[in-house]
Amino acid sequence: AIRGRLDEAERLVDELMGHAGSTSETAFRIFSGVALGCLWWQQGRLGDLRAAIETLIEDQPEWAERIKVLAALVYAESGDVAAADAILDEFVETHFTNVDPSGLWLLLMTTLAHTAVRAGNTEAAAAIEPAIEPYADRIATPGYFSMGPVATALGSLATAQDHYDDAERHFRSATELCERWDLRSFLAMTRLRWAQMLTRRDRPGDHDQARDLATKALTAAEEIGMQGLADEARDLLDGR
């Protein structure tokens, strides 16, 4: 998926979900669901997982804190900002001590970062930023699914707080990382988030650069099958 082969990734995730449905191993079923969530997030259809995620939280209380991280992003992506904020605020109040400290920590924290940005929760954005800043040169992945470069999330967090120079630095780093490792889907995402920041910053030359980045993001998103990202890029190019 991170290299832009979303159709192939969806086929593999479907096979994984089929195996998950035939096993009683809870961890395997949950990891399969998270893999599906990461894929659908890139495709712009994460909101479709709401019912399944809520059922999973009820059925697997021992995994609830991990699953709630993805649930918050599901809510934010589907426009239920109040529900997303409720989960974000809970994690902020506990200083993220209830975020799984295992190998999933960076993936979960990066997911919360994207959620805070999508929900417009600047308090959560300010709290998450210093927690993941030390990992700015990494990709948020446990190896089999991903939330992309941490620098992309940091750039979006900085944008949400109007720290535009920091945002540009992070987006440039994320772009270089994506180009180096051929991460096509996250390169498209990073370019669009950078373009949105430039439009918001509105310095001389920003709008021309934003249009160039958004055009590249749109072309890639259409080729890859990232419909949600393509729609966002069109909105920016159309001035909406």
**pLDDT value at residue 113:** 98
**pLDDT value at residue 223:** 92
**pLDDT value at residue 29:** 61
What's the DSSP call for residue 149? Answer: B
**pLDDT value at residue 142:** 83
**pLDDT value at residue 56:** 85
Radius of gyration of the chain (CA): 17
**pLDDT value at residue 180:** 96
CB-neighbour burial class of residue 227 (10 A; exposed 0-12, middle 13-18, buried 19+): middle
**pLDDT value at residue 15:** 55
CB atoms under 10 Å from CB of 78, counted, come to 17
The pTM for the full model equals 0.88
Alpha helices in the chain (DSSP H): 6-21, 26-43, 50-59, 64-77, 81-93, 105-119, 122-132, 150-160, 164-181, 184-201, 206-224, 227-237
Average pLDDT along the chain, 240 residues, taken 10 residues at a time:
52 53 58 71 86 89 91 96 98 95 91 98 98 97 86 98 98 98 95 98 98 98 93 96
